A and B are shown apart, each in its own frame.
Chain A
Amino acid sequence: MRTTTRRSHRLLALAAVTALTTGVLAGCSSDSDDSDSSGSGNNSGGGKTTLTIGTFGVFGYKQAGLYDEYMKSHPGITIKENVTTRTDVYWPKVLTRLQAGSGTDDIQAIEVGNITEAVQTQGSKFVDLGKDVDKSQWLDWKNAQATTADGKLIGLGTDIGPMAICYRKDLFQKAGLETDRTKLAAQWKGDWNKYVDLGKQYMKKAPSGTKFVDSASSVYNAVLNGESERYYDKSGKVVWDKSNGVKNAWDVAMSVATSNMSAKLKQFDKPWDQGYANASFATVACPAWMIGYIQEKSGEAGKGKWDVAAAPTAGNWGGSFIGVPTAGKHQKEAVELAKWLTAPEQQAKVFAKQASFPSTPSAYSTLKPAAATTEFFSNAPITQIFSDSAKTIPAQVFGVKDQPINTALTDIGILQVEQKGKSPEQGWDAATNEIKDVLGQ
């Protein structure tokens, strides 16, 4: 008798120990690496209102001095920015806080990859900004992406990501290719396959240790972002495996992956950063917001060696919105600040600081990149190139699971072909299985 109770006690203790250890894991799992300080705006003494703004990556508002400027003209307001580095950490956190109705910031940034999910599932958790602003300031498709089915505008456009091709003039020259940006653009105009052909030509005389492009996935993204059809149709149905846009982008990416012209890097990984510093690839499809990144990672050594040419097709990659959650305590003040931050004048200031491209066309004529940027990119007329691209970007339909589907294609399918030597068919099948898992089919 006594032994049995002792045994059951021990079992119980073991169960408790395991429960404790797994419980910790099951309970919370997102607070791994980078986190922010939470909490919505609270009144700090003296009648001052503190507005918090939750962002990810580098929005550039602080860097361009916009917060300081606003606080100076509005003495009753203090602005605090809560930055989370990665969107895949930022967004789940925002989703749970929105639904809990607490812990949100007064202003919450939303990446374009998440905007459809926000519009379709969190519409009621955001203030309708449509009545407070002059919508005609923004590009139509930008507004459309943040508008719910019943016409609510839940986010104001910040930047957009018109794309160009950034290339290393010095490497092109060594490989015996054309180096003039206008002539280059003319060579591949309208067809990404011509860009790949140029890559093949580059590889014949490639300077040692260099490849034509950073990765096949980046080419895939670049092509797809210029297609009008992505993973979902207008009715919200998943059509990724029948989409012409996906097929086209996949085929181009496959010819990159199978012809040894890619440096096989993963974008935004450490080795990718080092690739800039070591000049290990000659071209990269660059949305406007990547301009500052290239400049920073290439460092002094890359100065005057990079140039920018128009991409084969115009496309938009990335860009964001800022919305005001209804859970916020200072909604009126937050709306004012959001309006001010996204106004054309302010967007132009952010562009001048880090080349994030405005979503408000009226700002285009006033855009002036920083002198250092112009110099870095061989005096390329980047404002001109990006505005031209911005004007012809096709309106794209996004879906709720756009990002996981995209990850399945790039980081499973394409990566297998590029780095594991699988055939394009095997890569496609792997991506198909992954997407089935994503969609719960």
Chain B
Amino acid sequence: MTSPKQALAHPASSVEAAPGSQPGAARGADGRGTPPEGKGPWRSRLYRWDMKASPYVFIAPFFVIFGAFSLVPLLYTAWYSLHDVQLSSLDTQTWAGLDNYKNLLSSDFFWNALKNTFTIGLISTVPQLMAAIGLAHMLNYRLRGSTVWRVVMLTPYATSVAAATLVFTLLYSWDGGMVNWLLDFVGIDPINWRESDWGSQFAVSSIVIWRWTGYNALIYLAAMQAIPADLYESAAIDGANRWQQFLHVTVPQLRPTILFTVVVSTIGATQLFGEPLLFGGVSGSKGGSEHQYQTLGLYMYDQGWIIGNLGKASAIAWSMFLILLIIAAINLLVTRRLRKSQ
């Protein structure tokens, strides 16, 4: 491959042919002088091509891998979603048109999963982001051993879903779990966390909150440190206390960052899968006996890999994709509205 240096050297040659080049100069300098007869035009074309193509070549690996492992499956999933495909007979696909989608729209299970995804998303995202801002605000003060705190914040994020969920499942165990044991002290009867409607959603959300709060806090912290100190100074001169500073300086300055975390968390919440699956234990893909915490991701997995109805599972996958596009569009509108108001 040509070195970037040569590529950079190239523009000079194409704009003006420098006179008086030395014939015996190094090969790399060839392009700078008048090209030798015959070989020259070809080489300069090569250079031009190199200049144009190199950036694409450099980013190509990503797109090749993206194409092979994301785009092709994505399109193939779309193809599947229009067919009746069973896991046990992948080669016999019968055209079903939009039947799978119609089936979803009239299915209580789908709407239930959508509702659960939404409520769990809400219960997990809102407290998570609020706690993250609060934590970031505290970390933003001059602290003893601030690096230690930051690392500690990131530890839950570095824990695997499986390990975290396993521990939480034990904590929430109906019989002898720590949460119920603590509730017992304040006189509350043991709660069947896995089977109760709101209890199970709360339990699943708490795993998500635990894992992601620190991560978001660090993003907020990074954004907070970019806020110019003189803003705070002038606010202080105007007599604003710390809370007012937080409310009127920090939060407005963080707006783009908050939007970013909201979008990322929303995408994450829409795809919530590992936590509820493992929280459910045996036949966890059902999301509880009344599907009380079956998310769209779980419903898709259950249809595709447990029941073996891949056509319908693909339709669910595409529905999720469309839902995400809608969310993205809403986000875009909100962003623009916010920018205008500023």
Residue B342 interfacial (CB < 8 Å): no
A18 to B263, CA, bound (A): 10
B320:A25 contact, CB within 8 angstroms? yes
Residue of chain A at shortest CB distance from B305:
A92
A148 to B318, CA, bound (A): 37
Q: How far is the CB of A65 from chain B (nearest CB, A)?
A: 31
A416:B309 contact, CB within 8 angstroms? no
Residue B282 interfacial (CB < 8 Å): yes
Q: Which residues of B contact A407 (CB under 8 A)?
A: 283, 286, 306
Chain A, range 24-40, C-beta contacts under 8 Å to B = 24-30, 32-33
Q: Would A99 and B74 be within 8 Å (CB), given that A26-B314, A274-B176, A420-B290 are in contact?
A: no
A415:B88 contact, CB within 8 angstroms? no
Fill in one digit per residue for B10-30: 1 if any A CB lies within 8 Å of its CB, else 0: 000000000000000000000
Q: How far is the CB of B233 from chain A (nearest CB, A)?
A: 35
The number of A-B residue pairs with CB atoms under 8 Å apart is: 150
Chain A residues in the interface with B (C-beta under 8 A): 10-11, 14-15, 17-30, 32-33, 88, 92, 95-96, 99, 117, 121-122, 263-264, 266-271, 274, 278, 280, 400-401, 404, 407, 411-412, 415-416, 419-420, 430, 433, 437-438, 440
A26:B277 contact, CB within 8 angstroms? no
A10 to B263, CA, bound (A): 14
B90:A22 contact, CB within 8 angstroms? no
A34 to B175, CA, bound (A): 26
Q: Which residues of B contact A270 (CB under 8 A)?
A: 166, 169-170, 173, 281
A33:B321 contact, CB within 8 angstroms? no
B267:A18 contact, CB within 8 angstroms? yes
Residue of chain A at shortest CB distance from B175:
A271
A35 to B132, CA, bound (A): 34
Q: Taking A264-B174, A269-B282, A416-B290 as given, write out 13 further A-B residue pairs in contact, using a Cβ cutoff of 8 Å, ordered by the A residue number.
A: A14-B325, A18-B328, A22-B317, A23-B71, A29-B300, A92-B306, A92-B308, A96-B87, A269-B281, A270-B173, A401-B307, A411-B282, A437-B307
Residue of chain B at shortest CB distance from A440:
B309
Q: Which residues of A contact B331 (CB under 8 A)?
A: 14
Q: How far is the CB of B181 from chain A (nearest CB, A)?
A: 14
A25 to B107, CA, bound (A): 22
Q: List 18 A-B contacts (CB under 8 A).
A: A10-B332, A15-B328, A19-B71, A20-B70, A22-B317, A25-B273, A25-B317, A25-B320, A26-B321, A29-B301, A32-B273, A33-B162, A92-B87, A121-B86, A269-B281, A270-B281, A404-B308, A412-B289
Q: Which residues of A contact B305 (CB under 8 A)?
A: 29-30, 88, 92
Q: Is the interface of B mostly helix, strand, loop or mixed?
A: helix
Residue B37 interfacial (CB < 8 Å): no
Q: Which of B74, B282, B306 contacts A266 (CB 8 A)?
A: B282
Q: How far is the CB of B30 from chain A (nearest CB, A)?
A: 39
Fill in one digit per residue for B319-340: 1 if any A CB lies within 8 Å of its CB, else 0: 0110011001101100000000
Residue of chain B at shortest CB distance from A266:
B282
B267:A99 contact, CB within 8 angstroms? no
B70:A27 contact, CB within 8 angstroms? yes
Q: Which residues of B contact A122 (CB under 8 A)?
A: 88
Residue of chain A at shortest CB distance from B317:
A26
Q: How far is the CB of A438 from chain B (nearest CB, A)?
A: 5
Residue of chain A at shortest CB distance from B326:
A18
Q: Which residues of A contact B320 (CB under 8 A)?
A: 22, 25-26
A14 to B307, CA, bound (A): 33
Q: Which of B267, B307, B324, B332 contacts A404 (CB 8 A)?
A: B307
Q: Which residues of A contact B73 (CB under 8 A)?
A: 23, 26-28
A121 to B238, CA, bound (A): 77
Q: How far is the CB of B234 from chain A (nearest CB, A)?
A: 34
A22:B324 contact, CB within 8 angstroms? yes
Residue B109 interfacial (CB < 8 Å): yes
B312:A96 contact, CB within 8 angstroms? no
Q: Which residues of A contact B90 (CB under 8 A)?
A: 96, 99
A32:B321 contact, CB within 8 angstroms? no
A21 to B314, CA, bound (A): 15
Residue of chain A at shortest CB distance from B74:
A23
